[in-house]
Every structure is written in structure tokens, then in C-alpha cells.
């Protein structure tokens, strides 16, 4: 099952240290008209953890991330982030409070360079607006330089120096996904939400992406919530896994616990309810 990473010698997830609960999702229900995307879902995420969400197509995984970062507002339930209960967090609040994400379908500015795309990840951190820049050119300039340095760090970290001036639309898919990760990292998030970061990648690109995710987690202590279809990857890099099926939680535990759950096996084999 773990073919992708066994070759790279990544230490097992259990060797990593995880901390207190940072994000607690309580009885979340979300529907769109008659469609129940999420029904009464509860799970938590611990600091420094790599927490995977898996499940068949349409299970509600992306909806769950959209609830966490305020794109969707659940009809029921509560999100407790760092001990503070929130019902109606919007995307701006979520980003300000340290939650960044990537999307299932790449959401980058295709005509802009890698550098400029990653720079957009700094927007929320920028104090000076256009007027301030005109009035106080010096400080604004210094701030701009500080942001550029952060962005260059991300570019070095992701090993994309050679393409920093290339328009994103000209890059192969695997590298576009890496740039999208870069934009999220530029915001220096506490929690990083990744929606299928390895979908459509070949084995080598997946290995690279796994290494970057593990390095982000290790070096920056970033908590990661990951949706991923490749079971080998999920089982290798996750500390804990929550399994959704038809908008309901059917399992939650370590990779080994989840792997041996009969409900999970049935869901993946398509056994009727
Ligand atoms: N904006 C939306 N409007 C209507 N239905 C939606 C919307 N977003 C998701 N859904 C529905 O919610 C369910 C879960 O979708 P999604 O969260 O994308 O699943 P997954 O990411 O697990 O494949 C699906 O039935 C989907 O059609
Ligand atoms: Mg999805």
C-alpha cells in the first residue's frame, strides 16, 4: 500500500510529536437545498498533526475544508479554533487567523509569474495600501522588501528558483500544484488545508509533494489537514485519518485502525448501505 514512500525512507508518522487540540469541529451539518453534504460530523485536529480526510467522490471532503476556512457556513454545529467557538467565520477571518488552503482545482493566476502568484499569498500581511505607499514611500518600500524576502524563502524551500519568472500557465501540472502550495505557505499559516495536492501527479511528483508536506510540518511546525485519494500516501504520512461517506463520518483513527475498519472497506468497495 505504501509503495510511494517506502522508497523514499520517510519515517513513519507515529514518530512525530503532536500537541493540543487546535481545531475542534462539533456536530457540523451542511446542506445545499435538498442535498446533505455533511451530517453531524465531529472530529478534532491536533497541533503539528497531519490529519487526513478520505472518502469516495461526493463524500463531503471538500465541503468540510470549505466549512473550516469559512467558504461555507454550516446550518448546524460549531468550530472551536484555539479554544474560541465560532459559528460564522468568513474566509477573511479564517485567513487572518492563520488558516491557508489550496484547492482541488488549481486556483492560480495563469498569466502571472510564479513569483507574483506566491506574492499574492502575502496580501493579508501587507499593511500599506496604495495611498500609504504614496505618502510614506520609505516605510512602504521597506515593508515590500520584507515581504519579498519571505516569498524568496518559500521559493528556495520549494526548489523553484529556476521558474520564478515563468508564467504559471506555462508550467506542467505538478509544478503548478507546487506553486499553489507556495502561495499558501507565503501566508505563514498555522493550519494548512490541502485539497488533493497530489491528484493527477506521477509517482515522482507525488514523492516530491510528500516530501514538501512533511518538511513543512517538520520545519515550520505547521498543522496540516489533507484530502488525498492515494491510500499509500495517506497511510504513510498521516497521524490520524477521518473517513467520510455520503456526508457521514464512518471512521476516525490511526491509519492502521482505519484500514482495518469494516465500514471503510465496505465504502471503498461500494457495498450498499
Ligand atoms: N456549492 C455547492 N452547491 C451544491 N451542492 C454542492 C456544493 N458543494 C458541494 N455540493 C454537494 O455536496 C456533496 C459533497 O461534495 P464535496 O464536498 O465536493 O465532496 P468530495 O470533495 O468528497 O468529493 C456532493 O453531493 C456535492 O454535489
Ligand atoms: Mg473534493
Closest C-alpha residue for ligand 1 atom 2: 32
pLDDT at 9 over 60: no
Full residue range of the structural domain in which residue 217 is found: 1-98+191-273
- The C-alpha cell of 231 is what? 491510500
Number of domains comprising the chain = 2
Asked if residue 119 and residue 80 are part of one domain, the reply reads no
- Nearest atom in ligand 1 to the alpha carbon of residue 60 is 17
How high does pLDDT run on average in the chain? 88
* Cell 461526493 found at: 58
Residue where a domain terminates, one of 137, 166, 188: 188
Q: Mark whether 87 and 143 lie in a shared domain.
A: no
Which-ligand-closest: CA of 267?
1
Closest ligand 1 atom number to CA of residue 59 = 22
Do 152 and 236 belong to one domain? no
Do 234 and 202 have their domain in common?
A: yes
Using CA atoms, how far apart are residues 95 and 89, in angstroms rounded to an integer? 10
Q: Return the C-alpha cell found at 42.
A: 465531529
Q: Are residues 14 and 90 in the same domain?
A: yes
> Are 126 and 196 found together in one domain?
no
Q: Which of 30, 31, 32, 59 to mutate to test the pocket of ligand 1 (most atoms within 8 A of CB)?
A: 32
Q: Which of 11-20, 24-33, 46-55 shows the lowest per-residue confidence on average (mean pLDDT)?
A: 11-20
Report the alpha-carbon distance of residue 229 to residue 198 in Å, rounded: 8
For residues 118 and 182, the answer to whether their CB atoms sit within 8 Å is yes
Q: Which ligand 1 atom lies nearest to the CA of residue 72?
A: 1
Residue 248 has pLDDT above 50, yes or no: yes
- Collapsing DSSP to helix, strand or coil, 192 comes out as strand
Provide the CATH number for the domain around residue 126.
3.40.50.300
* pLDDT, position 127: 61
Of ligand 1's listed atoms, the one at least distance from the Cα of 66 is: 17
Same domain membership, residue 232 and residue 143: no
Q: Which of 188, 222, 250 is the last residue of a domain?
A: 188
* Predicted pLDDT of residue 44: 97
Question: Are residue 3 and residue 83 in the same domain, yes or no?
Answer: yes
**Residue spans of alpha helices (H) in 69-103:** 91-96
On whether both 143 and 166 belong to a single domain, the answer is yes
CA of 147 to the centre of ligand 2 (A): 32
Q: Which three cell numbers stand for residue 195?
A: 485539497
What percentage of the chain has pLDDT greater than the value 90? 65
Q: Mark which of 188, 205, 221 sits at the end of a domain.
A: 188
- Nearest Cα neighbor of 175 from 166, 184, 188 is 166
Please write the tens of the pLDDT for every residue from 95-148: 888 999 998 877 888 999 999 999 998 877 666 555 656 666 677 777 788 888
103: cell is 484547492
Query: Reduced to 3 states, what is the DSSP secondary structure of residue 256?
Result: helix
Average pLDDT over residues 62-85: 94
CB contact at 8 A, 192 and 216: yes
Pocket lining for ligand 1, CB < 6 angstroms: 32, 35, 37, 55, 57-63
Question: Poorest-confidence range of 91-100, 168-177, 238-247?
Answer: 91-100
Identity of the highest mean pLDDT range in 37-41, 137-141, 203-207: 37-41
Residues 10 and 86 occupy one common structural domain? yes
**223-227 and 50-54 strand pairing:** parallel
Amino acid at each position: 500500500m505504501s509503495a510511494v514512500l517506502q522508497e523514499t525512507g520517510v519515517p513513519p508518522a507515529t514518530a512525530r510529536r503532536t500537541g493540543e487540540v487546535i481545531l475542534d469541529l462539533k456536530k457540523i451539518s451542511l446542506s445545499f437545498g435538498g442535498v446533505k453534504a455533511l451530517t453531524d460530523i465531529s472530529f478534532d485536529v491536533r497541533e503539528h498533526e497531519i490529519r487526513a480526510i478520505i472518502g469516495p467522490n461526493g463524500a463531503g471532503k471538500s465541503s468540510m475544508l470549505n466549512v473550516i476556512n469559512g467558504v461555507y457556513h454550516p446550518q448546524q454545529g460549531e468550530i472551536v479554533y484555539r479554544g474560541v467557538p465560532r459559528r460564522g467565520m468568513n474566509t477573511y477571518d479564517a485567513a487572518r487567523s492563520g488558516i491557508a488552503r489550496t484547492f482541488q482545482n488549481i486556483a492560480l493566476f495563469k498569466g502571472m509569474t510564479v513569483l507574483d502568484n506566491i506574492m499574492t499569498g502575502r496580501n493579508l500581511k501587507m499593511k500599506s495600501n496604495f495611498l500609504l505607499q504614496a505618502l510614506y514611500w520609505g516605510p512602504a518600500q521597506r515593508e515590500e522588501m520584507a515581504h519579498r524576502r519571505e516569498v524568496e524563502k518559500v521559493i528556495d524551500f520549494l526548489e523553484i528558483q529556476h521558474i520564478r519568472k515563468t508564467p504559471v500557465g506555462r508550467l506542467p501540472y505538478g509544478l503548478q500544484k507546487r506553486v499553489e502550495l507556495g502561495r499558501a505557505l507565503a501566508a505563514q499559516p498555522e493550519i494548512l488545508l490541502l485539497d488533493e495536492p497530489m491528484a493527477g501527479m506521477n509517482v515522482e511528483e507525488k514523492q516530491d509533494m510528500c516530501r514538501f508536506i512533511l518538511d513543512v510540518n517538520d520545519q515550520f511546525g505547521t498543522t496540516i489537514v489533507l484530502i488525498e485519494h492515494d491510500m499509500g500516501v495517506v497511510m504513510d504520512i498521516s497521524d490520524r485519518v477521518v473517513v467520510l461517506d455520503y456526508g457521514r463520518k464512518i471512521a476516525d483513527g490511526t491509519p492502521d485502525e482505519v484500514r482495518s475498519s469494516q465500514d471503510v472497506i465496505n465504502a471503498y468497495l461500494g457495498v450498499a448501505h
